[in-house]
Amino acid sequence: MKTLLEPAAPEPLPGPRSVETITGTARLLMENGVLDLPRPGEGDTWGRWTTLAGLGRRDLVLGRLTEGHTDAVAILAEAGREPVPGALYGVWAARSGGTGAAVVGGALTGTVRFCSGAQVLDRALVVADYEDGPPILLEIGLDEPGVQALPETWQAIGMDASDSGDVRFDGVPVTSAHIVAEPGWYVSRPGFALGGAGVAAVWLGGCAAVVDSVTAYLRARGAADDHQHAHLGALHTAIHQSDALLVRTAEVVDAEPDEDLPLLTGICRAAVEHTARQVLDVAPEITGPTALCRDRRLPRQLADLMVYVRQHHGARDLAALGVELLKGGRR
């Protein structure tokens, strides 16, 4: 039976976690070809999402940074461009709180929030408003003049090591070499929706990591009561439900490229988000305060998952699904 999740939990990262150690691991994975993933929707989407889920299960910050890099590489390929060899990429597209980048008078300006890897990546694909038209996608070297990371803007506990602070662009000259594709292309391409499902695969790995820690805690104690058994069984069931949906969706998008990708991937994201909320609610009830207060691993995993899964907009995204389902007799 196909699954995104390996039967056994992966080995944790060695040593104290920091953005430097996570980035070092990501670079090593890149050098060893682990991040050379199949392109989404081109025959082995399951293989792509399996790797992303495994990285998220190992560590959600590692999953976040490597997902951003692999998404950027896939976007460049979709645009017919090659990534710079050896460069670690991110994709920065947030429009939070009225912030965002814009191209005005041939220069990139503005502040973008939630730029994961702001101080440690080499290059980023940046979505920017373009003059008076639709947004444009730019490839920016992070050592270019006018690019400034603002590390003090990232005060997170969950996903703390992802270095996801603001980045300010102060009149960065935009040339034809920076422009990845024409305005409006970034969100209209087929890979946009598939990239969102790849993020859900990382969330799923984070859910599995929490349950790994809960299971290890119960085994170490040598005893569990009926309520703990029931809650653990419920979490495993929820995770495997989302897993099965992602596996089936991967098969569909590879075999039937004309399917409604935003609808399919939106359902996947909603399902995994729902699973994550179950995990966040029930896991602490299973362990009680001891595992939350006498070991850092489980509390950190819970904090990471709580922050990262909020890339899903909850009821707002569900409402968008409902609107789509009422169109044209869909079911």
**185: which 2 tokens?**
């292309």
pLDDT (0 to 100) of residue 331: 59
How many whole angstroms separate alpha carbon 229 and alpha carbon 241? 18
How many whole angstroms separate alpha carbon 295 and alpha carbon 19? 21
Chain segment 72-88, per-residue pLDDT in tens: 999 999 999 999 999 99
Chain segment 144-155, per-residue pLDDT in tens: 999 999 999 999
Residue bearing tokens 């799923």: 204
Q: Which residues pair with 148 in a beta bridge?
A: 168
All residues at 6 or more sequence positions from 101 whose CB lies less than 8 Å from its CB, including other chains: 92, 108, 109, 110, 111, 112, 126, 127, 128, 129, 169
Chain segment 183-239, per-residue pLDDT in tens: 999 999 989 999 999 999 999 999 999 999 999 999 999 989 999 999 999 999 999
How many whole angstroms separate alpha carbon 331 and alpha carbon 325? 6
**How do the pLDDT tens digits run along the chain, 331 residues long?**
899 999 988 887 877 899 999 999 999 999 999 999 999 999 999 999 999 999 999 999 999 999 999 999 999 999 999 999 999 999 999 998 889 999 999 999 999 999 999 999 999 999 999 977 899 999 999 999 999 999 999 999 999 999 999 999 999 999 999 999 999 999 999 899 999 999 999 999 999 999 999 999 999 999 899 999 999 999 999 999 999 999 999 999 999 877 889 999 999 999 999 999 999 999 999 999 999 999 899 999 999 999 999 999 999 999 999 998 898 655 5
How many whole angstroms separate alpha carbon 172 and alpha carbon 109? 7
- Long-range contacts of the stretch 156-159 (C-beta < 8 A, 24+): 156/307, 157/303, 157/307, 158/300, 158/302, 158/303, 158/304, 158/305, 158/306, 158/307, 158/308, 159/60, 159/61, 159/64, 159/303, 159/304, 159/307, 159/308
pLDDT (0 to 100) of residue 242: 98
Average pLDDT score over the chain:
95
Q: Which residues pair with 166 in a beta bridge?
A: 150
Q: What's the gap between Cα 163 and its chain centre? A: 14
